């Protein structure tokens, strides 16, 4: 497999410099754009495997760039955004972004996100959903609908199971409340965000050793949930 | 005390006046004995000289009466076009005050100071126009004849037999900076009249027969000369006072003038004024309201009001006293005010009446002691007004009926007693009845009851029975005594009651004033103050009321209460603006802008006009009485002071807030600059070391340096985050996005975020399994937990445990974050939530914002946050979140 191509749309030269060092060092081929317009051109011409975009661009709103991109490409998009802007993150995710990293972030955090994104993109294209999922002590066999924790079977209700498998489909990626509601309860229930929270609490009590300090079912306050991938 | 130095108060008053004079225009009067002496001519001549000197002179209004010499002088001067006022089919020319104010010359000429303006003008009198011009800083030249002076008005009428209606208050003359007497010997004046230089010939002949008789002219000339001399004398005295020349300054005299409702009262007032001027004395005009006065016809009461007004115009202080006996009341007041002379009119009662009832003068003289009594004669001695009979109203008929019933009742009782008691005891029963009637009704029904009692007594109980005939003449004495006793009792009772009514009335006003000032004293908000003031004013004077206060741009905006709101249209607003800028009364019932629907009173505090009080009484004449007007002004003063107090308090508070803000800003700057620089210094240092000598350092050192860069960057990030959060909380920019959340999840997220700094620390979390969802903004509450946990990490030893305990009641959820550290310094449990407060002065902590942010967030959620040291060591931070909203819709059952 050739080196994955990353297009970075970011107006801050310092951040571009640091990411250039990090990503090329990790074996990625990086193409940079300082504006949204340049970014769209760059994505069109480079056919990247991952797009990294900053929401605060000088010429256009980052969310608009994401919408424009999603009109014709399904390439994973990772958003760079500051903490305290949870609403913007949700908007970007709803517009089609796959994940986000809060500024300031460490190199390892970003690289992990890129890896998850690449894995999902690869999975969606050729490999069908892997039937077996494993993280830490948690094992889920989706063919047999079997959930176990450290070898002991855990009994889940149908909704809990559906919620868990939805999270597994997006493992390692953030999933918004809306997304979970839509995929688990159906489009009619998207204004009942507390359903998700209650069932997440149930799942944690069944799957986590310390529900108040979860290892697998992580919360992203104001945005949604993330199932730990490794 | 030394009498050689001028009195400091007087000096102060003079200094103030001098100060006012500097901003005021100068008023110059051309004063003459009669028309035709050449005042206008002299004035125009003076104006011509000014113009020649290059002074900006404008003729505001000059009446030439067709005199050629005068008209010739007008030639070279700028003339302000007159205001044309349509009046009963013709057009009147009036002085245009607004145009004059707009033109703003240095000197303006306004002829005929005594002129009455046409209806609809701003002021009723031209002298008011002139005073406004002077007040606006414009010098005014004007003319006046001696017969127009208010205090000489009646003298002139006596001399010439012509009553002059257009008068000017003497105070205007006194305010003049300069008076130029224009004098012409009577013979010359008559000659000029005959030559037709004053009036056209027919008019001149008519005038010479009446007003311009030589005798009149001599007398008027003498008056004018004397008046001018008096003024020169006053100037001389002022000069002497300024230079403390007077060795024996006369003891200040004070004169009390007592007026009655008689038409001669105004003469009495003028006489008092002349006496006061001659003596250089203060003077007071008093009217005594006796119970009898309450029954006076409206015309007489109006006359009293007019007399008191005249007195005020002439510069007197006026007062209305109330009491039963006029002389006692007057003497008591005179003593209280240190009055040296009392001026009173010649008694109007005829000789035999005086013998019978006594006269006020006699009573005054008897009781006056050291006070001099001046008895001044009136011209035509009219009878003192008699109390008019009140028309018998329905209530009066009822009183008579009651009297009848009472007498019938007495007769019944007497009839029962008759066989057992003597006649004298029966009389007592009747007397008791009469007293009962007197206590309830007026004089009429009581007299009726008395007569009826005598009649029935005679009819039923005096032999021969059932007949009005009297067998024994000695019963006639009984009847007479019975009648007299009944009448005296009734008259006394009635008088006491009237007295009580008057007292109650006064009491009510005083109480209202007291109540208002009391309530105002305990109020801070201007809007509340106004509502209270308006309410109290309306309680005393049924009226529509508005208080107009200047807004930010200085424009007056009305504040009202809905129950009695005075609506001010543009015209009314203009009146209010005038009152505000001139700080004088105007509008309904005054001589300035009397066409207005309401009376406007300036709200004058110690720092100038605070606003204007507009009052439209439901009974239009209520403020014609000076006493009522004074009461209203007292209300206005109270209100003004209260408003001023409130604004001062607001200003003080605002400046307090400014100081506090300033202090905070300074402490923020010093704190932030320190907290920003420390990590930056570390980062810069580490980075430059790596750049310059990275290759020579061993791997461990390199790693250490890089780790310190990362850690300091994280610290910087936290600080900036906190600063942003705090700013958003304080500016109110934070909008809670509340939803239903399990606290466990929020705590989990916080612990996840702090995973690295918590390291291997033991954290125990205890949450009841049935804890309901809480409606919170999860991002902010997570931040609260993060800050509290971060605090615990920073201030406790690295291996000590932290515990989180959540408990719930029906109303609220309480979360507790407790550590095993050193605890808070004693007495600082509350202060730790203040901004920029640090329990330890070393650099371990942040900027002292974390807990302040926690408090901000918890308060925004309607909760409470506090801290206390634990008995076993360590500190516990606790906060509550209310459980007020209904729980969310239940989760659909799991299939």
B742 touches chain A (CB under 8 A): yes
Residue B464 resides in a domain? yes
For residue B385, what pLDDT is reported? 40
pLDDT of residue B677: 83
- Tell me, yes or no, whether B484 lies in a domain: yes
More confident residue, B677 or B15: B677
Domain holding A75: CATH number? Answer: 3.40.50.2300
Cβ of residue A200 closer than 8 Å to a chain B Cβ: yes
Cα distance between residue B778 and residue B861, in whole Å: 11
A104 in the same domain as A205: no
CATH number at residue B829: 3.30.565.10
Kindly give, in sequence order, each residue whose CB lies less than 8 Å from that of residue B616, ignoring residues fewer than 6 positions away: B543, B544, B545, B566, B588, B597, B598, B599
Q: Which of B738, B752, B766 best tests the A interface by mutation, with the highest count of A CBs <10 A?
A: B752
Q: According to the model, what pLDDT value does residue A217 have?
A: 94
Best of A219, A222, A225, A227 to substitute, by most chain B Cβ atoms within 10 angstroms, is A219
Question: Which residues of chain A have a CB within 8 Å of the CB of B889?
Answer: 192
Q: Looking at the structure, do residues A143 and A101 belong to the same domain, yes or no?
A: no
Residues of B whose CB is below 8 A from A185: 892
Residue B248 burial (CB < 10 Å; 0-12/13-18/19+)? exposed
Average pLDDT of chain B?
Answer: 80
- C-beta of residue B144 within 8 angstroms of C-beta of residue B37: no
B174 and B153, same structural domain? yes
Say whether residue B413 is in contact with chain A using an 8 A CB cutoff: no
- Of all residues in chain B, the one with the smallest CA distance to A213 is B748
End residue of a domain, out of B343, B376, B409 = B376
Interchain CB distance below 8 Å, B745 and A218: no
- Residues B220 and B116 both lie in one domain: yes
Q: Which domain holds residue B414?
A: 396-500
**Do A105 and A23 reside in the same domain of the chain?**
yes
Q: Give the span between the Cα atoms of B498 and B24, in whole angstroms.
A: 50
Task: Say yes or no: B746 contacts chain A, CB-CB below 8 A.
Answer: yes
- What CATH number does residue B76 fall under? 3.40.50.300
B223 and B290 in a single domain? The answer is no
Q: Is the pLDDT of residue B96 over 60?
A: yes
Are B165 and B314 members of one domain?
A: no
B732/A152 Cα distance (integer angstroms): 51
- When CB atoms are compared, the residue of B721, B739, B765 closest to A193 is B739
- Chain A touched by B772 (CB under 8 Å): no
Q: Which residues of A touch B710 (CB under 8 A)?
A: 106
State the pLDDT at residue A225.
94
Q: What is the DSSP string of B58-116?
A: EEEE---TT-HHHHHHHTTSEEPPPEEEEETTEEEEE--HHHHHHH--SEEEE--TTPB
Count structural domains, chain B: 4
CA nearest to B155, candidates B58, B271, B36: B271
Which of B12-16, B612-616, B623-627, B695-699 bottoms out in mean pLDDT, i.e. has the lowest? Answer: B12-16
C-alpha span between A223 and A214 (Å, rounded): 17
Say yes or no: B262 and B330 in one domain. yes
B711 inside 8 A of chain A by CB: no
Q: Is the pLDDT of residue B745 over 90?
A: yes
Among B742, B767, B782, beta carbon nearest to A197: B742
* Integer Cα distance of A55 and A63 in angstroms: 7
Nearest Cβ partner of B752 from A83, A201, A218? A218
Give yes or no for residue B250 having a pLDDT over 60: no
> Which of A25-29, A40-44, B678-682, B749-753 has the least mean pLDDT?
B678-682
Shortest alpha-carbon distance between residue A203 and chain B (Å): 12
pLDDT, position A48: 94
Of A125, A145, A173, the residue that ends a domain is A125
Which member of A83, A185, A221 has the closest CB to residue B746?
Answer: A221
Of B443, B472, B500, which residue sits at a domain end?
B500
pLDDT tens digits for B37-83? 888 888 988 888 888 888 899 998 888 777 777 788 888 888 888 88
User: pLDDT at position B487, please?
Assistant: 77
Residue B416, pLDDT above cutoff 80: yes
| Judgement on whether residues B792 and B846 belong to the same structural domain of the protein | yes
B721 close contact with A: CB closer than 8 A: yes
- Do A184 and A117 share a structural domain? no
Q: Into how many domains does chain A fold?
A: 2
Whether A119 and A53 map to the same domain: the answer is yes
Cβ–Cβ contact B749 with A under 8 A? yes
pLDDT for B491-536, tens place per residue?
Answer: 787 778 777 877 777 777 777 778 788 888 777 788 888 888 888 8
Domain shared by B28 and B165, yes or no = yes
Tokens of B858: 């918890």
Does any domain span residue B558? Answer: no
Q: Which two tokens mark B445?
A: 């029904």
Q: Do B746 and A219 touch (CB under 8 A)?
A: yes
Strand order in the sheet with B875-882: B763-766, B802-808, B812-818, B875-882, B865-869
Q: Do B895 and A159 touch (CB under 8 A)?
A: yes
Q: What 8-state DSSP symbol labels residue B598? A: S
Q: Judge if A180 and A74 occupy the same domain.
A: no
Say how far residue B708 (Cα) sits from the centre of its chain: 71
B202, pLDDT greater than 80: no
pLDDT tens per residue across span A119-165: 888 875 444 456 788 888 999 988 888 999 988 999 999 999 999 99
Q: What integer pLDDT is reported at residue B201 of this predicted model?
A: 67
Question: Measured between beta carbons, which residues in chain B are less than 8 angstroms from residue A158?
Answer: 894-895
Contacts of B744 in chain A (CB under 8 A): 201, 204, 211-212
Is some CB atom of chain B closer than 8 A to the CB atom of A201? yes
Q: Is the pLDDT of residue A4 over 80?
A: yes
**Is residue B545 assigned to a domain?**
no
Q: B-chain residues within 8 Å CB-CB of A214?
A: 748, 752
Q: Which two tokens stand for residue B1?
A: 């005390």
A118 & A148 share domain:
no
Quote the minimal CA–CA distance from A8 to chain B in Å: 23
Domain match, A138 and A110 both: no
For residue B595, tell me if it sits in a domain: no
Average pLDDT over residues B119-123: 81
Confidence of residue B840 (pLDDT cuts 50, 70, 90): low
Q: Same domain, yes or no, for B325 and B364?
A: yes
Name the domain boundary from B472, B500, B528.
Answer: B500
CA distance A195 to chain B (A): 6
Residue B388: pLDDT over 50: no
- Verify that B87 and B146 share a domain, yes or no: yes
| The last residue of a domain, from among A125, A140, A171 | A125
Residues paired with B91 in a beta bridge: B86
Q: Per-residue confidence at B387, pLDDT binned at 50, 70, 90? A: very low
**B804 shares contact with chain A (CB less than 8 Å):** yes
How far B845 CA lies from chain A's nearest CA (Å)?
21
Q: Which long-range contacts (CB under 8 A, 24 or more apart) does B292-299 make?
A: B292/B387, B293/B261, B294/B498, B294/B501, B294/B502, B295/B387, B295/B388, B295/B390, B296/B261, B296/B385, B296/B387, B296/B388, B297/B385, B297/B388
B276 and B413 part of one domain: no
Residues A119 and A140 in one domain: no
Q: In chain A, which residues have their Cβ closer than 8 Å to the Cβ of B717?
A: 104
Mean pLDDT over residues A35-44, rounded?
A: 92
pLDDT digits (tens, 9 = 90+) for B800-809: 899 999 999 8
The confidence band for B371, taking pLDDT boundaries of 50, 70 and 90, is confident
Structure confidence at residue B305 as a pLDDT band (50, 70, 90): confident
Which of B710, B744, B892 lies at the smallest CB-CB distance from A212? B744
- Identify the domain containing residue A215 by its residue range: 132-227
pLDDT band of residue B657 (cuts 50, 70, 90) is confident
CATH of the domain at A220: 1.10.10.10
Q: How confident is the model at residue B240 (pLDDT cuts 50, 70, 90)?
A: low
Q: Are residues B356 and B415 in the same domain?
A: no
Tokens of A176: 């918004």
Cβ pair A219:B745 closer than 8 A: yes
Nearest neighbour of B751 by CB, restricted to A159, A194, A213: A213
Backbone angles phi, psi at B177, to 5 degrees: -80, -25
pLDDT the model gives residue B818: 93
How big is chain B by its Cα radius of gyration, in Å?
44
A26 and A98 assigned to the same domain: yes
**Residue B597 located in a structural domain:** no
For A158, the closest of B713, B804, B895 (CB atoms) is B895
Rounded CA gap, B187 and B193, in Å?
10
Alpha carbons B352 and A94: distance in angstroms, whole number: 113
B389-411 per-position pLDDT tens digit: 444 444 678 888 888 898 899 99
User: Which residue has better confidence, A107 or B388?
Assistant: A107
Q: Nearest Cβ partner of B740 from A157, A194, A210? A: A194
Inter-chain contact A84–B721, Cβ cutoff 8 Å?
yes
Contact B746 A160 (CB under 8 A): no
Contacts of B762 in chain A (CB under 8 A): none
Closest Cα to residue A212, out of B751, B790, B801? B751
Residues B282 and B408 in one domain: no
Is the same domain home to A59 and A163? no
Decide which of A125, A140, A165 is a domain's last residue.
A125
Task: Evaluate whether residue B31 is within a structural domain.
Answer: yes
Instruction: Judge whether residue A223 has pLDDT over 50.
Output: yes
Shared domain for A101 and A178, answered yes or no, is no
């Amino acid at each position: 497999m050739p080196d994955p191509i990353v297009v970075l749309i970011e107006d801050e030269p310092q951040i571009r410099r640091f990411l250039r060092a990090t990503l090329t060092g990790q074996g990625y081929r990086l193409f940079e754009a300082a504006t949204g317009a340049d970014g769209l051109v760059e994505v069109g011409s480079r056919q990247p495997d991952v797009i990294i975009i900053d929401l605060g661009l000088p010429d256009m709103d980052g969310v608009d760039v994401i919408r424009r991109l999603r009109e014709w490409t399904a390439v994973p998009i990772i958003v760079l955004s500051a903490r305290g802007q949870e609403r913007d993150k949700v908007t970007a995710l709803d517009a089609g972004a796959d994940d986000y990293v809060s500024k300031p972030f460490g190199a390892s955090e970003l690289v992990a996100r890129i890896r998850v994104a690449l894995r999902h993109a690869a999975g969606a294209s050729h490999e069908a959903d892997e039937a077996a999922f494993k993280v830490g002590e948690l094992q889920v066999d989706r063919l047999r609908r079997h959930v176990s924790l450290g070898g002991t079977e855990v009994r889940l209700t149908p909704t809990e199971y559906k919620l868990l498998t939805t999270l597994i489909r997006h493992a390692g990626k953030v999933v918004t409340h809306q997304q979970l509601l839509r995929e688990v309860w159906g489009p009619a229930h998207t204004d009942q965000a507390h359903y998700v929270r209650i069932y997440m609490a149930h799942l944690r009590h069944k799957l986590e050793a310390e529900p108040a300090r979860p290892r697998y079912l992580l919360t992203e306050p104001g945005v949604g949930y993330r199932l730990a991938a490794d | 005390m030394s009498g050689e130095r001028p009195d400091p108060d007087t000096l102060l008053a003079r200094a103030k006046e001098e100060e006012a004079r500097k901003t005021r225009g100068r008023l110059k009067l051309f004063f003459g004995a009669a028309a035709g002496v050449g005042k206008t001519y002299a004035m125009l001549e003076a104006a011509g000289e000014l113009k020649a000197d290059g002074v900006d002179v404008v003729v505001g209004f000059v009446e030439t009466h067709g005199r050629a010499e005068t008209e010739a002088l007008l030639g070279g001067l700028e003339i302000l076009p007159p205001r044309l006022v349509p009046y009963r089919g013709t057009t009147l020319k009036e002085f245009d005050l607004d145009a004059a104010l707009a033109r703003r010359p240095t000197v303006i000429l306004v002829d005929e100071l005594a002129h009455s303006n046409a209806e609809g003008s701003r002021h009723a009198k031209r002298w008011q126009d002139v005073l406004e011009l002077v007040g606006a800083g414009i010098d005014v030249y004007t003319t006046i004849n001696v017969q127009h002076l208010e205090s000489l008005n009646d003298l002139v009428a006596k001399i010439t037999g012509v009553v002059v209606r257009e008068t000017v208050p003497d105070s205007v003359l006194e305010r003049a900076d300069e008076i130029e007497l224009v004098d012409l010997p009577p013979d010359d004046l008559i000659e000029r009249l005959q030559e037709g230089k004053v009036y056209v010939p027919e008019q001149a002949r008519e005038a010479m027969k009446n007003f311009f008789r030589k005798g009149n002219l001599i007398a008027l000339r003498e008056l004018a000369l004397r008046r001018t001399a008096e003024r020169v004398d006053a100037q001389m005295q002022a000069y002497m006072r300024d230079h403390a020349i007077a060795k024996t300054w006369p003891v200040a005299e004070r004169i009390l003038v007592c007026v009655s409702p008689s038409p001669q009262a105004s003469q009495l007032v003028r006489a008092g004024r002349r006496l006061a001027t001659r003596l250089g004395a203060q003077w007071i005009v008093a009217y005594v309201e006796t119970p009898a006065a309450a029954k006076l016809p409206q015309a007489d009461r109006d006359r009293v009001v007019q007399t008191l007004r005249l007195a005020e115009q002439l510069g007197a202080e006026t007062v209305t006293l109330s009491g039963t006996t006029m002389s006692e009341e007057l003497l008591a007041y005179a003593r209280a005010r240190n009055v040296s002379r009392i001026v009173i009119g010649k008694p109007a009662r005829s000789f035999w009446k005086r013998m019978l009832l006594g006269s006020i003068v006699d009573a005054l003289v008897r009781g006056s002691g050291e006070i001099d009594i001046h008895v001044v004669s009136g011209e035509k001695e009219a009878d003192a007004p008699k109390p008019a009979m009140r028309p018998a109203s329905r209530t009066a008929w009822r009183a008579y009926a009651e009297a009848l019933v009472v007498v019938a009742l007495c007769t019944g009782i007497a009839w029962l007693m008759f066989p057992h008691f003597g006649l004298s005891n029966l009389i007592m029963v009747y007397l008791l009845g009469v007293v009962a009637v007197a206590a309830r009704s007026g004089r009429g029904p009581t007299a009726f009851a008395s007569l009826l009692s005598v009649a029935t007594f005679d009819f039923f109980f005096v032999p021969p029975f059932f007949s009005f005939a009297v067998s024994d003449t000695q019963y006639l004495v009984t009847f007479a005594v019975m009648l007299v006793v009944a009448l005296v009792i009734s008259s006394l009772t009635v008088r006491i009651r009237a007295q009580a009514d008057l007292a109650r009335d006064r009491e009510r006003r005083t109480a209202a004033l007291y109540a208002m000032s009391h309530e105002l004293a305990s109020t801070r908000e201007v809007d509340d103050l106004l509502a209270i003031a308006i309410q109290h004013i309306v309680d005393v004077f049924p009226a529509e009321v508005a208080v107009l206060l200047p807004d930010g741009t200085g424009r007056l905006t009305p504040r009202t209460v809905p129950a009695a709101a005075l609506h001010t249209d543009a015209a009314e607003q203009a009146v209010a603006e005038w009152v505000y800028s001139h700080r004088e009364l105007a509008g309904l019932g005054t001589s300035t802008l009397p066409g207005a629907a309401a009376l406007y009173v300036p709200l004058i505090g110690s720092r100038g006009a605070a606003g204007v009080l507009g009052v439209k009484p439901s009974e239009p004449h209520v403020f014609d009485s000076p006493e009522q007007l004074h009461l209203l002004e007292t209300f206005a003063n109270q209100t003004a002071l209260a408003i001023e107090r409130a604004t001062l308090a607001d200003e003080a508070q605002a400046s307090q807030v400014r100081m506090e803000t300033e202090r905070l800003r300074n402490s923020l700057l010093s704190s932030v600059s320190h907290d920003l620089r420390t990590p930056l210094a570390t980062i810069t240092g580490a980075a430059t070391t790596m750049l310059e000598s990275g290759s020579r350092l061993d791997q461990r050192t390199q790693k250490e340096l890089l780790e310190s860069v990362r850690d300091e960057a994280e610290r910087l990030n936290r600080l900036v985050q906190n600063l942003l959060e705090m700013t958003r909380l304080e500016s109110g920019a934070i909008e809670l996005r509340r939803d239903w959340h399990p606290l466990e999840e929020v705590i989990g997220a916080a612990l996840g975020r702090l995973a690295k700094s918590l390291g291997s620390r033991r954290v125990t979390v205890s949450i009841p399994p049935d804890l309901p969802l809480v409606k919170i903004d999860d991002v902010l509450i997570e931040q609260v937990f993060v800050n509290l946990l971060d605090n615990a990490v920073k201030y406790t030893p690295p291996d000590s445990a932290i515990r989180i305990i959540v408990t719930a009641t029906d109303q609220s959820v309480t979360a507790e974050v407790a550590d095993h550290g050193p605890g808070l310094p004693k007495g600082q449990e509350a202060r730790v939530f203040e901004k920029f407060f640090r329990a330890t002065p070393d650099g371990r902590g942040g900027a002292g914002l974390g807990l302040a942010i926690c408090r901000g967030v918890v308060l925004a959620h309607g909760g409470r946050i506090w801290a206390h040291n634990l008995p076993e060591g360590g500190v516990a931070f606790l906060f509550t979140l209310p459980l007020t909203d209904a729980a969310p819709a239940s989760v659909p059952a799991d299939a």
